[in-house]
């Protein structure tokens, strides 16, 4: 599955990321990690102290990738609306859900301060970056002056995460797409009314 170029440590991290997304923490057994990564037990314990340590590395990596995607989309050229739109319309595997959001529903991750920390940090980062862009849009007169950037950012994240849940429940991406379209139409509303 993995090329010779990827180190054993990287294979373990990438495999754990995939399994956490598919199965959650409880469903990601060391045996499943080792089998999918194609490595022996000694390799795992050479690089990591155990499943929690490996899971933490995988969760951190997922958070780093999500933050990089956010920076690329929200730091691009374009109006504030266009950048938020790019984030909302970006390519996603909607029926698979969010690899970070999924972890918020995992009781073992939430019960562990150490495993939960990178999840909380990633979600906070996403909301902060969106709020910054919304603030730019308010300052430039692109968005209505009464909008509270932190509240709009929370609505964007809630729309995305809730959209994943509804899409998975229905087995269709339409629920996700409808939520995104609805939010974008609200954001597209004129900032000021003209006579």
Q: Tell me whether residue 4 is exposed, middle or buried, using C-beta atoms within 10 angstroms of its C-beta: 0 to 12, 13 to 18, 19 or more.
A: exposed
The per-residue pLDDT for 194 is: 43
Number of Cβ atoms within 10 Å of the Cβ of 140: 11
Q: Is residue 28 part of a domain?
A: yes
Quote the CA–CA distance of 84 and 94 in Å, as a whole number: 18
The total number of structural domains that make up the chain: 1
Q: Is residue 154 part of a domain?
A: yes
What letter does residue 27 receive in the DSSP assignment?
A: T
Q: Which ranges of 24-148 does DSSP label H, i.e. alpha helix?
A: 30-37, 41-47, 51-74, 80-89, 107-111, 113-139
Quote the CA–CA distance of 93 and 42 in Å, as a whole number: 34
pTM of the model: 0.89
Task: Identify the band that residue 43 occupies on the pLDDT scale cut at 50, 70 and 90.
Answer: confident
Q: At what angle do helices 8-23 and 51-74 cross, to 10 degrees?
A: 80
Quote the CA–CA distance of 159 and 88 in Å, as a whole number: 9
| CA distances for 62 relative to 12, 20, 29, 148, 180, angstroms | 13, 10, 19, 29, 23
Quote the CA–CA distance of 135 and 39 in Å, as a whole number: 48
Q: By 3-state DSSP, what share of the chain in percent is helix, strand and coil, each rounded to 5?
A: 75, 0, 25
Arithmetic mean of pLDDT, 22-47: 91
Q: Kindly report the average pLDDT of the chain as a whole number.
A: 92
Supply the Cα-derived Rg of the chain in whole angstroms: 19
Q: pLDDT for 160-194, tens place per residue? A: 999 999 999 999 999 999 999 999 999 986 654 44
Q: Is residue 3 part of a domain?
A: no
Q: pLDDT for 31-42, tens place per residue? A: 999 999 999 888
- CATH code, 122: 1.10.357.10
Range of the domain at 135: 8-188
Q: Is residue 193 part of a domain?
A: no
């Amino acid at each position: 599955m993995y090329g010779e170029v990827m180190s054993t440590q990287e294979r373990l991290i990438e495999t754990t990321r995939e399994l956490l997304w598919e199965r959650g923490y409880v469903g990601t057994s060391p045996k499943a990690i080792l089998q999918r990564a194609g490595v022996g037990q000694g390799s795992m314990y050479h690089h990591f102290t155990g499943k929690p340590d490996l899971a933490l590395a995988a969760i951190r990596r997922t958070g780093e990738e999500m933050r990089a995607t956010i920076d690329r989309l929200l730091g691009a050229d374009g109006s504030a609306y266009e950048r938020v739109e790019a984030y909302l319309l970006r390519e996603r595997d909607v029926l698979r859900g969010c690899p970070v959001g999924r972890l918020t529903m995992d009781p073992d991750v939430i019960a562990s301060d150490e495993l939960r920390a990178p999840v909380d940090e990633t979600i906070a980062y996403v909301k902060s970056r969106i709020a910054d862009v919304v603030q730019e849009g308010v300052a430039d007169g692109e968005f209505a002056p009464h909008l509270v950037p932190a509240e709009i950012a929370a609505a964007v994240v809630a729309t995305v995460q809730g959209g994943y849940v509804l899409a998975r429940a229905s087995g269709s991406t339409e629920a996700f797409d409808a939520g995104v379209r609805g939010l974008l139409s609200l954001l597209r509303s004129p900032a000021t009314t003209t006579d």
